[in-house]
């Protein structure tokens, strides 16, 4: 146990000394920013024109370390060395040793996680005792949000937009057909997944029937927008009532038209008399002429 603590203490002292030396002796390092996707590998690029020397690799040391400083990776005397690597980076770092002599000092970090966000890594090179800071790389961690899902609650006429799996924190926007809703019109709730560190989002707004509305989630690192759209239909109660009202209105209009026609046009009555009792069949007129009875003239 004592040996382990002593080893860690030596490692810390070594890292601090390297950091101080690099600050004093380095020129302006090459600064770069890369985007790392959670769960995927990211390359921390660093290169110089030439690394090979007459004493390479036995007199060459390369340290990749963050600003705390904590060691990400070490190449020493021709081999990769893990004794001083911080546990945060265990089993996640790789270099291409075959390309070091040509000046490729890049480090592969795999996989990226949320704790790597805003990681700034310095690459310190020591050749024959001469120390220089070659590169400084910053990692912006991100992840795409899932396509949002819209859920309507017809009881209180609220619309909920939900998504998950994204990083960093979102920017949510609600739009109707004629305006963009103000931020205070939405109630937002954000939780962070304890395993992945990604965000789960829920945003709620009040809506009205017939409204066209879009929910958009924006990821500023990826410059990516995920959206969903909905048209708020009439409530089910109103739809059911409408199903009864429309046939009744149509029947009433039909009856009124039929009554009008049978009153206006007598010849139109026959086809409707069995259906509509408002137009009784008229009594037939007695058109036959009474026979003339000749008076008998007894005198004739």
- Say if residues 153 and 135 touch (Cβ distance below 8 Å): no
Per the structure, the complete domain to which residue 258 belongs is given by 236-272
Domain membership of residue 277 (yes or no) is no
List strand residue ranges (DSSP E) for 60-210, in order: 60-66, 71-76, 79-81, 93-95, 107-109, 119-127, 130-142, 149-153, 158-166, 171-176, 187-192, 199-206
Better pLDDT: 221 or 283: 221
Among 210, 231, 252, residue at a domain's last position: 231
154/152 Cα distance (integer angstroms): 6
The answer to whether residues 34 and 98 belong to one domain is yes
The answer to whether residues 91 and 222 belong to one domain is no
Domain membership of residue 294 (yes or no) is no
Percent of the chain with pLDDT over 70: 72
Structural domain total, the chain = 3
Better pLDDT: 267 or 276: 267
Domain membership of residue 295 (yes or no) is no
The answer to whether residues 153 and 259 belong to one domain is no
The answer to whether residues 134 and 162 belong to one domain is no
The answer to whether residues 79 and 173 belong to one domain is no
CATH number at residue 6: 2.60.40.10
Q: Which pLDDT tens digit goes with each residue over 192-204?
A: 999 999 999 999 9
Check residue 40 and give its pLDDT: 97
**Strand, helix or coil for residue 99:** helix
124/107 Cα distance (integer angstroms): 12
Q: What is the pTM of this model?
A: 0.67
The answer to whether residues 80 and 202 belong to one domain is no
Q: 66 to each of 129, 136, 268, how far by Cα in Å?
A: 21, 9, 98
Check residue 259 and give its pLDDT: 72
Q: Which pLDDT tens digit goes with each residue over 113-169?
A: 999 999 999 999 998 888 999 999 999 999 999 999 999 999 999 999 999 999 998
Indicate if the pLDDT at residue 244 is higher than 80.
no
The answer to whether residues 138 and 11 belong to one domain is yes
**Strand, helix or coil for residue 1:** coil
Task: Extract the tokens encoding 29.
Answer: 């390092």
Indicate if the pLDDT at residue 12 is higher than 50.
no
Q: Which pLDDT tens digit goes with each residue over 42-96?
A: 999 999 877 766 667 778 899 999 999 999 999 998 899 999 999 999 999 999 9
Check residue 274 and give its pLDDT: 54
- Say if residues 63 and 18 touch (Cβ distance below 8 Å): yes
Check residue 15 and give its pLDDT: 43
The answer to whether residues 266 and 216 belong to one domain is no
Q: Which pLDDT tens digit goes with each residue over 169-189?
A: 889 999 998 899 999 999 999
The answer to whether residues 70 and 103 belong to one domain is yes
The answer to whether residues 89 and 216 belong to one domain is no
Domain membership of residue 199 (yes or no) is yes
Check residue 183 and give its pLDDT: 94
Domain membership of residue 299 (yes or no) is no
Question: For residues 87-112, b (16+ Cβ closer than 10 Å) or e, as one string?
Answer: eebeebbebeeeebeeebbbbebeeb
Domain membership of residue 194 (yes or no) is yes
Domain membership of residue 65 (yes or no) is yes
The answer to whether residues 132 and 30 belong to one domain is yes
Task: Extract the tokens encoding 220.
Answer: 């500023």
Domain membership of residue 283 (yes or no) is no
The answer to whether residues 109 and 205 belong to one domain is no
């Amino acid at each position: 146990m004592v040996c382990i603590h002593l080893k860690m203490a030596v490692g810390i002292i070594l890292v601090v000394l390297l950091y101080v030396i690099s600050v004093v002796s380095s020129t302006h390092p090459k600064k770069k920013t890369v985007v790392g996707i959670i769960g995927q590998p990211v390359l921390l690029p660093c290169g110089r024109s030439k690394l090979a020397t007459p004493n390479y690799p036995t007199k060459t040391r390369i340290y990749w370390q963050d600003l705390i400083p904590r060691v990400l990776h070490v190449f020493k005397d021709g081999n990769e060395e893990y004794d001083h690597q911080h546990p945060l980076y265990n089993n996640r770092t790789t270099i291409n040793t075959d390309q070091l002599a040509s000046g490729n000092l890049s480090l592969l970090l795999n996989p990226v996680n949320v704790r790597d966000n805003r990681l700034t890594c310095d690459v310190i090179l020591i050749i024959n005792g001469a120390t220089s800071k070659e590169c400084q790389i910053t990692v912006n961690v991100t992840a795409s949000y899932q396509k949002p899902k819209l859920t309507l609650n017809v009881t209180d006429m609220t619309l909920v937009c939900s998504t998950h799996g994204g990083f960093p924190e979102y920017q949510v926007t609600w739009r109707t057909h004629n305006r963009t809703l103000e931020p205070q019109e939405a109630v937002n709730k954000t939780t962070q997944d304890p395993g992945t560190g990604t965000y789960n989002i829920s945003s709620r707004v009040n809506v009205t029937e017939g409204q066209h509305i879009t929910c958009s989630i924006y990821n500023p690192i990826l410059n990516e927008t995920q959206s969903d759209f909905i048209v708020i239909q009439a409530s089910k109660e109103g739809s059911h009532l409408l199903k009864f009202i429309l046939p009744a209105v149509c029947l009433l209009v039909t009856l009124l038209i039929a009554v009008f026609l049978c009153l206006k046009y007598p010849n139109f009555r026959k086809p409707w008399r069995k259906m509509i009792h408002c137009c009784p069949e008229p009594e037939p007129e007695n058109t036959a002429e009474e026979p003339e009875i000749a008076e008998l003239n007894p005198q004739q």
